[in-house]
Structure 1
Amino acid sequence: MATASIRPAAVAGYFYPDDARVLQAQIGEMLSTAVPLEAVSLPKALIVPHAGYVYSGPVAASAYATASGLRDVVRRVVLLGPAHRMHVEAFALPAAQFFSTPLGSIPISRKDWLALQARADVVVDDRPHALEHSLEVQLPFLQTILDAFELVPLLVGDASPAQVAEVLDQLWGGPETLIVISSDLSHYHPYAQACCTDRSSVEQILKLRPGLDHEQACGATPINGLIRTATQHGLEPHLLDLRNSGDTAGDRSRVVGYTSIAFCESARHAATARH
């Protein structure tokens, strides 16, 4: 395995611990204490936040605790998040064939990596991925709750929701595939204002109404795409957690909002599919 084919951890020791044992202990603690607002069936897709673990980790843990029953089922994770560090036209796929964290290396799905390159809106470029945290911070959680799996990591730039929905539909797969959308909510508002803004944004998602903007969520584009695809596939969103940095580890003068939402097959859709 050539070193050049590995995308090394960029924010270990900054967003989360760089010592494997400390990291495992921290994730284990967050998962064991997570109490989702709603008990749901096993999810097909998740929206999870991507800040430093001290800030958003407990909120993310509510989603990953809900998905922990997928350990023996999921073998592929489709992971989309916004590009913070470098402009991306539509979608950026890494050239690297492994993503590394203190918990080990995760292989990229070679089949999907090759297939996605046939799309005119996908560029293969390691540069946007090199320092990006939105995908990386999800990986130690995924490595903890799942057995061996392959990764399809896409950074989303100026894509349209329709393009995102098309990519998600292409990668949808069956029960072996979990879709994870990495996004925070509002940024740097006073606590009371953030609570109001974020509650409104979450209500919009729960009603499956696309049209979120980037003031509401930095991952608005992939969320809007997921809403479109989830509607087509008969998924229902369930709120697992909604807090902000003022609730977890920061002061309340300028907070960042976080939510975890699970998308699960609706009972009505499941019944229809059986007939």
Structure 2
Amino acid sequence: MLSLWRLATTGVSRVNPEFIRQCSTVARKKQVVFYEGEVQQLLKNLTGCNIQKVFRARKEGKETKKSVYQFVTQEELEQLQKEYLKKAEMKLQMPPVMEERVSVATVLEEDPLLTGFDNSKIVFTDITYGVEDRERLIVVRDIDGTLRTATWEEHDRMNQIYYPREECKHYVPAMFEPDNLKALMMPEKYVYILDRNCGQFEPDHPLYIRTAEIVYNHINEHKHFYALESTRHFGPMVFYLCWNRQIDDLLVHFIMSKSLENAARTVKVYQIIANDKSFELSENSSECITNFARSPAARQKNKILAALKKAQ
């Protein structure tokens, strides 16, 4: 588990180029496109860095630290500001966007003589310290004598037993049920839901992907894009909308917010992801947006052009 989340906390430059190359030879998967340098930089710029929002007080059931005031020189102030910017960048590192994982269970041995030896499965787990959770060797001896590698669900459960993470429950919390999520869907709860989603599941877990997509779709439907700005979840949301060719309302949001540059960046991300050559990019943000709006790629041409005209 830890190995994937490390991608979200160490920066793009630490991603192994060989990993990208190997993935690219297989198929154009989400994780390959997501970690392309240009896409990462565009998503980072789109996210923004509102220091007040990044370091806002949050209700997490922990005691809030008291503010400390002190006199500093201009040089010391600039150094403190640099340190806070670095901390903000760490907080804004985006969770990985990945394809849904597939079963990895492999039969290693079939021994009929062990059939009925026990009425429960026997799980063997390598608990060597320092081994990445996803790389930990876990095998299962079934009741019928079959020895196989663990399924993803068994793998997650064993890792949580031997190396528990505080934010991860050993069961799926009820809040992740679609009906329960609907009751939580409001701008002030989006980040909370997505943070809990990151803590509970791996980024390629089916429930992680389902939960994230439910939130992104609700935000897009109700035009609540501002709720994720300057959070680590804004980039993955933009990526999702571009991947599913649903960026029209997001473009209107940026245009009406007087941020034509961000609208143009979104168009660039869309073209990279969709590999859509039906329109030309331009260094001029307004022209770039107009080219997109007048192409077959746009679903709400008139709405985008009307917003652009009103903003100019």
- Same fold by TM-score, threshold 0.5 exceeded? no
Relative contact order, CA 8 A, sep 6+: which one is greater?
A: 1
- TM-score (structure 1 length as normaliser): 0.29
More strand by share: 1
- TM-score (structure 2 length as normaliser): 0.27
| Structure whose CA Rg is larger | 2
More helix by share: 2
